[in-house]
Structure 1
């Protein structure tokens, strides 16, 4: 396997990896920034959540592009290309799902004051 093939196969996994990673960073970051958000600015968690939702959606877009690019290649592939396409579709769904979860946490952080603890 060449480096180009390895790089192309990693694109199928982008949505699967970036969505949960962005959500985990968002969850821990909001908890870590709660104390500082009460003292200074209340929008630091909102900014972080917006950026991380964008990262989750970027993983979705990368997986979707990998599906579109590899759609014709699966017919010429001797092994079918089915598992890679399945993982890419799973990445698209996972990225969208985790972006919605981050948006839900963003809405909660905007409605609830961090100083209530």
Structure 2
């Protein structure tokens, strides 16, 4: 990666994105384990997931899997998709990215998980 380009991690634990536009999405997507806790890193399987931004989508690819495209600009206004989770001792609101993303990540990680997008910035 070049030293002049900004590096960000839209999906925590996955491969970084070297794109200035990705800075706006740094740390927005996380994987939840079966108990509803955010996985801090996700293990080596998640580190194999490549991430790019393309045409308004977070594009995810993993070995042996079809590509998964997640819309970047969705407004989380459906209450059934929202939930509260604990991270670093704080309650944060997240939007569940749905069954298709959950199945994709469960296959990649080899355990039942959910993909969520943080709706509110985590303030330190």
TM beyond 0.5: no
TM normalised by structure 2 equals 0.20
TM normalised by structure 1 equals 0.21
Greater helix fraction, Structure 1 or Structure 2 = 1
Greater strand fraction, Structure 1 or Structure 2 = 2
Larger radius of gyration: 1
